[in-house]
Structure 1
Amino acid sequence: MISNRIILTVVVLLFLSSSTSTAQEKRFAFAFYNLENLFDTHHDTGKYDWEYTPTGNKRWTKDRYKKKINNLAFVIDKLGKPHCPEGITILGVGEVENKQALTDLIRNKHIAKRKFGFVHHESPDARGIDVALIYEAKVFKVLSSKAYPLNKIKNQQVRTRYQLLVKGVLNQRDTLHIIVNHWPSRKDKRNVEQRDYAAKLTKRIADSILQSNTKAKIVIMGDFNDNPDNRSCRVILNAKRNKTDVKKGGLYNPMWNIYKKGIGTYCYQGWWNMYDQFIISESLIAPSGKNKGLAFTKAEVCRFDFLLQKQGKYKGYPLRTFSGNIFLNGYSDHLPIVSYFERR
């Protein structure tokens, strides 16, 4: 009798383990996170990064750098859970200085066990901040990558981030094209035109992929420094608010309806902006359940309580690393976003 009970218990445990494993294989979480000035402590020749050195205005010491790395890794470890028990598979990042900072991040104790890899191309950005794609190597195999520069605008050279295209295979089944962005900032009103040019570049990249394969699965992610209803996203990318409005070969913006609920990723003067967004190709939408392959299910802004300031003038805002030159030991001035996909 006892031996039979033991056998039954083992069978049940194996079944539950198999079910959990199967669910994880079918569900995937992708994220984007603007890391807000993840610089190492060394000056890079030709870059305006002096304030993020030990003798700079930020007093950017190894201790502060390690705290920043640890804080970000702590957040990354929690993204995508509990819907995807192991967490995220893909993470696009913005405002990271170089390969050393990325290496230190993925080797941090909070996420080292995930054995993440990354794709990064050094860009001509004046401050030296780039975009990159971090991925779980056992689930996502990189096939190729390419950096697209934002070329001259009205004969003026723009020293800004590349747009990063990564092609890879998810779980040995689905070929994905991921475009990681960080468009020109809003500090200069003239940058509106630059963001429009950035949107045109993103659209060209996506269109070129779709011309080769009309069923290509494309995920565009990044900090656009524009909202879903701004011209760059609404008109140039023509990313639709509702799935039902997306035509063959079109794009869908799942962040738009979230934004209209008053939710955002970046707070300025009390107003939440949805600068960080996912835009996905029609091939990843399954409104009628007919798509039996990989399909988008939902997106969200991650508003973990610890990511927000608890008091003071900026109560409720993202808890950033610095306020001016005062070290707050926070995370980022942006909140991370996550999108979920599953195989049907």
Structure 2
Amino acid sequence: MDLKFAWWNCGLSPPSTKAKKKEPNLGFVISIITLLDIRKVDVLGICEVNEQDIDYINGIIQSLENPDLQLVNLYKKHGNSIEDFCLVYNSKKLSITSFGESLNTWDSVTDKKLKAGISAKFILNDEVPLSIILCHWQSRKSYPHESPQRIKLGATLRANIDEILAVNANSLIVVLGDFNDEPFDKPIQDHLSASRDAAFVIRKPRSLFNPFWSCLGTMDEIEHHPKSSGSCYYQDDGNMTHWKTFDQILFSSAFLKPNWEFVDKGAEIVNDIPIQDVDLAWSEISDHYPVLSHIRRIA
């Protein structure tokens, strides 16, 4: 069985009462259709949407006339606190058992909110449980790079993952998110314990595997994909690199067992959506590209 996971910060409705909303354009529609109908994504997590955006996405899904595609509305608003998610999944391969559990908490010292994520529970079609966590960590404007709050975000999500692994050390867990941190930043690598080293993850099975190290900008990427060398164009921190790999998909060690394999490194920045056909630049759609991981269970 093949499973394709994708994540997209689509940029329509940032989770701030002061943020300016964007209206979905034809490029947005093409992007959703490309991911779900052309690329055949089985699980698509989306952030920076509100309830009107989610209804609009559901309309696109209905137009595809694929009864297997189901949408879960994960949007919540409590005062100034916003959960800006929705999730689309292929009901032919997965059955949802619960959704909407918040993993957020408050820093006990500073009383600052730590938006660690939100979870959904599934069962694969052979009754194997799967946990999916969606993350949209606070921006670097809110919590600066390497600030204590960013470290605590990683530690908070780590504690929630540890709770799952305490019940079953072989749990299938997939984390999709815009972390506003790169794979090598301390909140991801050290405190969430997400490693690029598959051999290390196999030896230390409570760690996570992060295939998105392979999407950091390289000369090869620049030569073959001159539009980007990362998933997000970010220029607010004043350093030498504007393209950041903030968007990542992480996997529990159970996906490194012999009955699973990653296809094409399991990490792709989807920067080839055909928006040129409608004369749009990607910046008119979002400042983030979708990311995709393709895995396969071997008989």
Q: TM-score range by the shorter chain?
A: 0.7 to 0.9
Counterpart mapping for 1:253-332 below 5 A: 253-259=210-216, 261=218, 263-269=229-235, 271-286=242-257, 291-292=258-259, 294-297=260-263, 298-304=266-272, 306=274, 319-320=282-283, 330-332=284-286
Q: Is the 8 A contact 1:34 1:336 kept in 2?
A: yes
Match of 2:17? 48
| Matched ranges for 1:236-247 at <5 A | 236-246=191-201, 247=204
Once the two structures are superposed, residues 110-167 of structure 1 have per-residue CA deviations (whole angstroms, 9 ceiling, x without a partner) of 8542332214141448374512322123332111121122313523242x75611111
2:2 pairs with 20, 27, 43, which one?
27
CA distance in 2, matches of 1:258, 1:167: 28
Contact 2:120/2:133 (8 A) holds in 1: yes
> SS of the counterpart of 2:250?
strand
Deviation at 1:109, TM superposition (A): 6.2
* Structure 1: gaps (5+ residues): 1-25, 53-59, 312-317, 321-329
CA RMSD, 1 decimal: 3.0
d(CA) in 1 for partners of 2:19 and 2:268? 35
What is the rounded CA distance, in whole Å, between the counterparts of 2:106 and 2:159 in structure 1?
13
**TM-score normalised by L of structure 2:** 0.80
* Number of residue-to-residue matches in the alignment: 274
Correspondence 1:1-344 to 2 at 5 A: 26-38=1-13, 48=17, 51-52=20-21, 65=23, 67-68=24-25, 70-79=26-35, 87-98=40-51, 100-108=52-60, 112-114=64-66, 115-124=69-78, 126=80, 128=82, 130-145=84-99, 146-152=101-107, 154-158=109-113, 161=115, 163-188=117-142, 190=144, 192-246=147-201, 247-259=204-216, 261=218, 263-269=229-235, 271-286=242-257, 291-292=258-259, 294-297=260-263, 298-304=266-272, 306=274, 319-320=282-283, 330-344=284-298
Structure 2's unaligned 5+ residue stretches are 222-228, 236-240
Relative to the length of structure 1, the TM-score reads 0.70
User: Kindly, what percent of the aligned residue pairs are identical?
Assistant: 24
| Amino acid across the alignment from 1:167 | K
Aligned residue in 2 for 1:7: none
Secondary structure, in 3 states, of the residue corresponding to 1:198? helix
Partner residue of 1:315? none
Letter in 2 for 1:31: A
Q: Could you give the per-residue CA deviations for residues 159-178 of structure 1, whole angstroms, max 9, x where no partner exists? A: x7561111101234432111
Please report how far the alpha carbon of residue 278 of structure 1 lies from its aligned counterpart in structure 2 after TM superposition: 0.9
Q: Tell me how far apart the structure 2 counterparts of residues 93 and 249 of structure 1 sit (CA, whole Å).
A: 26
Q: Which has the larger radius of gyration?
A: 1
SS in 1 for 2:105: coil
